[in-house]
Chain A
Amino acid sequence: MELLLNQVLAGIATGAIYACMALAVVMIYQAIDHLNFAQGEMAMFSTFIAWQLLQWGVPYWGAFVITLALSFAGGIVIERALFKPLGNAPVLTHVAGFIALFAIINSVAGLTWDFTIKQFPSPFGSSPFLGSQLISTHQAGMIGVTLVLLLLLYFFFQFTRIGLAMRAAAAQPESARLVGINTSWMIALGWGMAAAIGSIAGMLIAPVVFLEPNMMGGVLIYGFAAAVLGGLSSPFGAVVGGFLVGIFENLAGTYIPGVGNELKLPIALALIVTVLVVKPTGLFGRAIVKRV
């Protein structure tokens, strides 16, 4: 029983990473209705900017805020420069655009900061949390930040004018334009916010996994899985999905004899696909009525 409890706790600790990333994934999905394959790389790049600022002697919170602002601006620039011109191109062409962006960012980061791992500081420290060695104060802090972000996003999308406008622009661009929403800028704003949230995710994840150009590759797969499991239309679902994937994966690695350890990612993914087959819009996603 104690082993089970420990494994669940350890699963929650890694789940916090996935939840954080999943939140960023859902954020951009809300804004542009696509999964952005370059999201992880954008977050990684932001984190490197923060790291560079810290190297230059900027205090942590200063670097944090500057990175947030730069990421927000960067997201908007990427949208304006790369995806707005693609405008009416087919959705698969957009996906190709994400892949191109992925390649560019990864390569530039590798050349600028090389591929050795870098230590990234945590604002929460890394001592045991409440006496449990399995969850550190950093991971607890990460869960806390994720939940606060979640709350903020909820209020933003539910109650603010601009949040509502963004949702409308993403879900029903035609109608949104008719009621006077500048959908084009709403999308750019969505990119900016997604990049900013991604940078927070990156800065929280980096202390755990170490900063390097490929640090998000693995995290993104899990983040996607978590977001899809929870339901892409629900930030809350994404966070829950993140923790579930973390726990799933850890339990599969511990308890499934023989292949469990070697195949825990495929097993976790298979479980998610099974969930999706039963509930195609994810655990907390809203069902969408199809029209002819």
Chain B
Amino acid sequence: MPFPALRHARCAALLAALSCLAVVTSAAPALAQKAYDPGASDSTIRIGNLMPYSGPASAYAIVGRIEQAYFRMVNDQGGINGRKIEFVSYDDAYSPAKAVEQTRRLVESDEVLLVFSPMGTPSNAAIQKYLNAKGVPQLFAATGATRFGDPKAFPWTMGWQPPYQVEGRVYAKYILATRPDARIAVLYQNDDLGRDLLKGLKDGLGERASRIVAEESYEVAEPSADNHIARLKASGADVFVSITTPKFAAQSIRKAAELAWRPLYIQALVSASIGAVLRPAGLDNAQGLVSAAYNKDAADPQWADDPGMARFHSFLDAYAPDVNRGDNSVVYGYGAAQCLVEVLRRAGDTLTRANVMREAAGLKGYTPDTLLPGIGITTAPDDFHPIEQLRLMRFEGDHWHLFGPVIDGDLRN
């Protein structure tokens, strides 16, 4: 089979010719230090992305639409160091097989500089090995599974949000501090989110993990979590940890109130949104809820005068006026996109994949507009979990009341 070898040879020749050309055209001395990998040039930076635009997880695709809109705004403002962002986002329908296909298309056909914010654990897990073998950054993977922050095994993969296990440990610390003799009930979604967070919780509780008196899991296909709540109440628990996605979170909050079950109610942050969860569940039912957060809630009145959120809102007014701002994913997409733009800005004219990873691993307390006060993004060559800090909060009246210090949940400790 001589053809592939021949093609490679021809490719190499072409590349050599192109780089000669690049050297010739960049004769001006100021431009001599420019370095580009595929996807980057003097005028553009091409970025790839995967989103479940169709299929069962299409609720999360709003993240991709917000990121797209954010890059459009950046381009309208002149781009990054004069380069426009070309955002190529493909549908993976939340299917790992499709994710691999689309990622290969991004890397091999569209020749993107990096793959940014691919959505969901299964898709990210499926493409992780390929991207690392190819040396293409898998930057700010949109999932909280711990495996996406392991620089030794996967030097090209970095997560963004706090790992679910960190969140679990934060709740464990809080429970140990306030109710050491608690009887704990847990409801978790039977997927990576639920299992990882539960693992963090148990690790954090240590030998007191035996205080978990009831554990129930649910499948996303179930219509309602009501009966789980009835059973958990029957266990006699006085602390309830609800590791649930928005629909089930709202059902649980409402059902617990209907049953007059009033434990210390801890809600995983994925569903701590006022607009998307608490308001539908009924604000009265949500009083006293405890959760953790790293992002500001767009529907929370306490951020009305916050300059960061003001920028966020004026961005939405101009570039995505019709989105539901109560949706946590909107804040998420804005923050992640802003963080990427910062990394690319720092990479300057050295837009190679290695340099992008280097810059991404060198953030020291960077704060996008949407992060809570006191929380910053810090990475290091041996720390690929950008956000590891959380703040506890209690729901009172119509807003989350932050309390306690910023909690650092660094998994390396």
Contact = CB atoms under 8 A, between A and B. Distances in A.
A133 B258 contact: yes
B56 A217 contact: yes
A245 B228 CA distance: 16
Interface in B299-346: 323-324, 326-327
Contacts of B251: 208-210
Contact of A208 (B62, B224, B259, B260): B224
A116 B227 contact: no
A218 B276 contact: no
A240 to B, nearest CB: 19
Contacts of B227: 7, 10-11, 13-14, 250, 253
B231 A133 contact: no
A128 interface: yes
A218 B223 contact: yes
B183 to A, nearest CB: 18
B231 A253 contact: yes
B89 to A, nearest CB: 16
Interface stretch (A25-33, A107-115, A280-288): A107-115
B190 interface: yes
B68 to A, nearest CB: 15
* Chain A facing B: main interface SS: helix
A116 B231 contact: no
Nearest to B257: A126
A118 interface: yes
B398 interface: no
Interface string B61-79: 0100000000000000000
Contacts of A11: 227
B324 A17 contact: no
Contact of A117 (B58, B221, B246): B246
Interface residues of A, number: 41
A270 B246 CA distance: 29
A214 interface: yes
A70 to B, nearest CB: 23
B104 to A, nearest CB: 25
A17 B228 CA distance: 16
A3 B227 CA distance: 12
Contacts of B326: 116
B258 A126 contact: yes
A250 B221 CA distance: 15
A14 B276 contact: no
B175 interface: no
10 contacts: A6-B234, A119-B281, A133-B258, A134-B230, A134-B259, A136-B258, A208-B251, A209-B247, A217-B56, A222-B223
Interface of B: 54, 56, 58-59, 62, 190, 216-217, 219-224, 226-228, 230-231, 234, 246-247, 250-251, 258-260, 275-277, 279-282, 323-324, 326-327
Given A107-B58, A117-B276, A209-B223, 20 more contacts: A6-B230, A7-B231, A13-B226, A110-B58, A114-B323, A115-B59, A115-B327, A116-B246, A117-B247, A117-B277, A117-B280, A119-B279, A136-B258, A208-B226, A210-B280, A218-B223, A219-B223, A222-B223, A261-B217, A262-B217
Interface of A: 3, 6-7, 10-11, 13-14, 17, 103, 107, 110, 114-119, 126, 128, 133-134, 136, 205, 208-210, 212-215, 217-219, 221-222, 250, 253-254, 261-262, 265
